[in-house]
Structure 1
Amino acid sequence: MNKRTFIKKSGLGALGLSLLPSGLKALEAKGPQARLRTAHIGVGNMGNEDLRDISSHPQVDVVALCDVDSNNLAAALKLHPGAKTFKDYRVMLAEMSDGIDAIIVSTPDHTHAPAALAAMELDKPVYCQKPLTHFVSESREMRRVANEKGLVTQMGIQVHSFYDYKLATLLIRDGIIGKVHTVRAWSPKQWGLNGPAPEGSDPVPETLDWNLWLGTSPEVPYKDGYYHPGYWRRLVNYGCGTLGDMGVHIFDTPYNALELDVPRTIMTECRPPSGFGYPENNTVTYEFPGTDYTADSLKWVWYDGPGMPPAHEDLALPGGEQLHDQGAMFLGEKGRLYLPHFMLEPKLIVDGAYQEMDFEKYGLGTPIRNYASEGPKHYHQFVDACLGKGETTAPFDYGARLTETILLGTIAGRFPGQTLHWDAEKAQFAEAEANQYLSGEYREF
């Protein structure tokens, strides 16, 4: 089933609901004391953090909670006892659409687009966790819908609003290392699985609605220790591996600072595909068209998995200093800029030595490196934008392009060592066999 058909049949069109007009103008009309009524789809793990930080805004009222796991739902309800609870986001949207102003989507990756698109079809602003979608076709569709409807949107990359990442963006755009020709980024996380798919099945916990957890993905038997609650990131039908988890965060600052679009070529070095789990170690090499801040083209190399990154002269630090576990290195015509992940000061390296930098001229104020105070900023930016105060800095127009870049790397992992050529205008590969992974059929559930 395609995505448009899914939205029509997913409980909204089937219930005869007409598309409701956006409530944003009404909220703006109420003035500065307006309140934003939020509904949260997925309230376990990261969803719980999203719920906490969205609701910490003084003008938010949490009116609906939705989760396929009753334990998650019960814990969230204790924090917001006045909210209505649901297992199925389609039912929530059908029953409460006129009582909801904005939707927060914090589910596993494979449900991001189905839930977010259903909300946007009702003209609701959406905050959606990263990566924005599971398929490239979904990213393109979410970007299209958000832009056509003029909706407030935000992808959940909180560090986008943190001091050090904003500072690094300003440094690069100020030409501190000149035109950038290469970026190397890395994470040693292991959101992969080199073993086979599990055999057999286990009883589904009474607290879990397995059909709703699977959602639009293919039906498979439940197996304890896989899938829910946290294993899904490793699996190709539900997550996007380490590249989709940490890559989005670590890619974000270089991608934003250099004003990149999607790449022209992608090549992934990894083990042969299993069709079930992502490889545990990946090296992904992208080539991007040039921008005002890069050379004529930009080379980008991503490393993930145990032991990453390998030793490389581009990553050597002064005095033999050890690299941080995660981070990015910009290489330009005048030196290198090292950005550890996360909440650490960017460092300028010229001729093998650290150089002093004047940060005050960039007007960011005193550095703040406290997650408790910095974390909510990205969420509050979304709430304020919904209330007509300012704009978001990671809308779907941006998040979809960044996510597309990430997803092209995971697709290249199905063709190890082969360079894939991406036509951004046609949204397809020159290598026809790779195009089957740009989208997927939606199961009726």
Structure 2
Amino acid sequence: MFHIINDISNMEEIMNISRRTFLKTAGAGAAVFSILPRWAIGKEPAPNSKINVAIIGCGGRGTASVNEAGNFDRANVVALCDVDWGRAGGSFNKFPNAQKFKDYRVMFDKMGKDIDAVFVCTPDHAHFPAAAWAMANGKHVYIEKPLARTFWETQELKRIAKKTGLITQMGNQGHAGDGWRQVKEWHDAGLLGDVEEIHHWTDRPNVFWKQGLIERPSQNHNSGNIDWNLWLNVAPDQPFSPAIAPFAWRGYQDFGTSSLGDMGCHFMDLGYSAFGLGLPSKIYGTRTEMNDYAWPAKAQVVYEFAPNKYHKKPIKLFWYDANDKPKDLKNFKQDAIDRCSNGTAIVCSKRNVFCGNAYGGGVSIYPFEEFRDLRKSNALPAPTIERVGGNPHHEFLRGCISGKQPGSNIVEFSADFAATVLLGLVPNFVPEKELKFNGRQMKFTNSKEANNFLKSRYSYKTEFLPEKI
């Protein structure tokens, strides 16, 4: 029977209840945090030539982590975990000697001493519990974007990562790429001038899943290979529906973070990293009609970032989804925007920036003709920022061996970056009101209602969480 609490503001209470529940059901060794050897917390290279890797959620998106870990010459894939063994079949076949699990708690209980690093590739609602459990067991952890489902979860993962000192990484391809590095170099060299506005637009969710006035399933369907209880994890009990799993969960508040959470950690990294935006000072949003189960069919969000040491003037960032796009941007031709289904336009005082790649690649100074002229005349600055040289999976694995934190590690970058993205979900619940956010206090200062949506709207099933860390 699940143990549900009514207030998740006290993490100590969660962890203590969780420990009592889990010790009764799965043995005493699964979630005990202990002092780690220096190599296991990224202080020295591992004594062995290879590190042992586990993948939680090895079907679906997790196959990328399976493949990249398998292609890394200093990694052994020793454990594969997925609640849907049918969908995970390809990964199982690729590594037939890896131990197979449905429950990550059982995996850590049985193989805790044999795993060095973990990839968390579950749906959004299970990112926080699985990653917290991994770090509680002293494992370096890679977590797919958007790191967590709520603002509070991002900050709690930051606290745990800082306390444990483990190597961490949020998996967003763009941060390992050259795009934001090039834009920062152009900006630092004075080619762009002052940044005024950043516009991001996407065709999600319409292309891949639906959002809008969708009702909670009332009839239980056959879940097939999916262990539905384990799939739900910390989320409320409800009937299984193929409209939710295995793929379309992103459109539902219990599990996903809408099109903004899905793509925001790709798009928004470009300006966030290049211009040192930090947490927003104001957020305003509009949306179509919404119920208490699914995210709205369409939303627009405006973030404002106050001046800081990286940018001397306020910067506004606009988010459009469901095929909405910006109009009448200064010095942009509308057809350049309209013919791009997923894109970014950065309006600056000297030269603009355009990116037609959802992952921040292929950036260009706009107009394109001027960019070509700058390249021909060698007027673009030479690279000054270190390049990753590879994908985020390999950046993480190299960090586990060398002790060097990846660029998108939780403590220094991805917790606050993902928190910024997820703050854009709050106007769905408090629409058409300018919400003022205090980054030091980590709360909205002009809306008690808005602060209610920084945490989960439901009570966690605490047996899926580790003990207090």
Aligned counterpart for 1:270 among listed residues 287, 299, 302:
287
The verdict on how the C-alpha distance between 1:76 and 1:273 changes in structure 2, with shifts beyond 3 A counting, is: same
The verdict on how the C-alpha distance between 1:359 and 1:132 changes in structure 2, with shifts beyond 3 A counting, is: farther
Aligned counterpart for 2:155 among listed residues 116, 137, 140:
140
The verdict on how the C-alpha distance between 1:243 and 1:323 changes in structure 2, with shifts beyond 3 A counting, is: same
1:184-195 equivalence runs, <5 A = 184-190=199-205, 192-195=210-213
Q: Is the 1:272–1:415 contact (alpha carbons within 8 Å) kept by the matching residues of 2?
A: no
- Aligned partner of 2:120 in structure 1 is 105
CA distance in structure 2 between the partners assigned to 1:74 and 1:313 by the alignment? 48
Structure 2: which amino acid aligns with 1:395? Answer: N
Aligned counterpart for 1:37 among listed residues 45, 52, 58:
52
Structure 2: which amino acid aligns with 1:362? Answer: A
CA distance in structure 2 between the partners assigned to 1:147 and 1:382 by the alignment? 17
3-state secondary structure, aligned to 2:197: strand
Structure 1: which amino acid aligns with 2:257? Answer: C
The verdict on how the C-alpha distance between 1:378 and 1:23 changes in structure 2, with shifts beyond 3 A counting, is: farther
- Aligned partner of 1:383 in structure 2 is 397
CA distance in structure 2 between the partners assigned to 1:173 and 1:364 by the alignment? 10
Aligned counterpart for 1:208 among listed residues 226, 234, 257:
226
- Aligned partner of 2:28 in structure 1 is 16
The verdict on how the C-alpha distance between 1:144 and 1:341 changes in structure 2, with shifts beyond 3 A counting, is: same
Post-superposition shift, 1:275? Answer: 1.1
CA distance in structure 2 between the partners assigned to 1:242 and 1:93 by the alignment? 32
Q: Is the 1:7–1:13 contact (alpha carbons within 8 Å) kept by the matching residues of 2?
A: no
When normalised by structure 1's length, the TM-score is 0.90
Structure 2: which amino acid aligns with 1:294? Answer: H
1:10-409 equivalence runs, <5 A = 15-17=27-29, 18-22=32-36, 25=39, 34-190=49-205, 192-223=210-241, 225-306=242-323, 308-314=324-330, 316-317=332-333, 322-342=338-358, 344-349=361-366, 356-357=374-375, 358=378, 361-363=381-383, 377-388=391-402, 390-397=404-411, 398-409=413-424
CA distance in structure 1 between the partners assigned to 2:124 and 2:314 by the alignment? 31
Structure 1: which amino acid aligns with 2:355? Answer: L
3-state secondary structure, aligned to 1:387: helix
Post-superposition shift, 1:81? Answer: 0.9
In structure 2, list runs of 5 or more residues that go unmatched.
464-469
In the TM superposition, what whole-angstrom CA distance separates every residue of 1:248-274 from its partner, at most 9, and x where no partner exists? Answer: 100012101111211111111112331
In the TM superposition, what whole-angstrom CA distance separates every residue of 1:202-234 from its partner, at most 9, and x where no partner exists? Answer: 3332311111111101111112x3211111011
3-state secondary structure, aligned to 1:237: coil
Percent identity of the aligned residues? 26
Post-superposition shift, 1:408? Answer: 1.0
Post-superposition shift, 1:84? Answer: 0.7
Q: Quick check: 173-182 or 207-216, which moved more?
A: 173-182
Post-superposition shift, 1:198? Answer: 4.2
The verdict on how the C-alpha distance between 1:13 and 1:138 changes in structure 2, with shifts beyond 3 A counting, is: farther
Q: How many residue pairs align between the two structures?
A: 436
CA distance in structure 2 between the partners assigned to 1:320 and 1:361 by the alignment? 25
CA distance in structure 1 between the partners assigned to 2:91 and 2:109 by the alignment? 21
Q: Is the 2:58–2:88 contact (alpha carbons within 8 Å) kept by the matching residues of 1?
A: yes
Structure 2: which amino acid aligns with 1:254? Answer: G
Structure 2: which amino acid aligns with 1:16? Answer: A
When normalised by structure 2's length, the TM-score is 0.85
The verdict on how the C-alpha distance between 1:310 and 1:258 changes in structure 2, with shifts beyond 3 A counting, is: closer
Post-superposition shift, 1:155? Answer: 0.2
CA distance in structure 1 between the partners assigned to 2:414 and 2:202 by the alignment? 20
Q: Is the 1:116–1:126 contact (alpha carbons within 8 Å) kept by the matching residues of 2?
A: yes
3-state secondary structure, aligned to 1:208: coil
Q: Is the 1:28–1:387 contact (alpha carbons within 8 Å) kept by the matching residues of 2?
A: no
Structure 1: which amino acid aligns with 2:265? Answer: V
Q: Is the 1:315–1:329 contact (alpha carbons within 8 Å) kept by the matching residues of 2?
A: no
Q: Is the 1:181–1:295 contact (alpha carbons within 8 Å) kept by the matching residues of 2?
A: no
In structure 1, list runs of 5 or more residues that go unmatched.
368-372
CA distance in structure 2 between the partners assigned to 1:235 and 1:318 by the alignment? 33
Structure 1: which amino acid aligns with 2:137? Answer: L
Q: Is the 2:210–2:248 contact (alpha carbons within 8 Å) kept by the matching residues of 1?
A: no
Q: Is the 1:167–1:364 contact (alpha carbons within 8 Å) kept by the matching residues of 2?
A: no
Post-superposition shift, 1:186? Answer: 1.3
Structure 1: which amino acid aligns with 2:231? Answer: W
Post-superposition shift, 1:183? Answer: 1.0
The verdict on how the C-alpha distance between 1:222 and 1:348 changes in structure 2, with shifts beyond 3 A counting, is: same
Structure 1: which amino acid aligns with 2:198? Answer: V
CA distance in structure 2 between the partners assigned to 1:55 and 1:61 by the alignment? 7
If asked which structure has higher relative contact order (CA below 8 Å, sep 6+), I would say 2
Structure 2: which amino acid aligns with 1:200? Answer: S
CA distance in structure 2 between the partners assigned to 1:315 and 1:123 by the alignment? 52
Post-superposition shift, 1:145? Answer: 1.2
Structure 2: which amino acid aligns with 1:259? Answer: G
- Aligned partner of 2:434 in structure 1 is 419
CA distance in structure 1 between the partners assigned to 2:344 and 2:233 by the alignment? 35
Post-superposition shift, 1:325? Answer: 1.9
Post-superposition shift, 1:444? Answer: 4.0
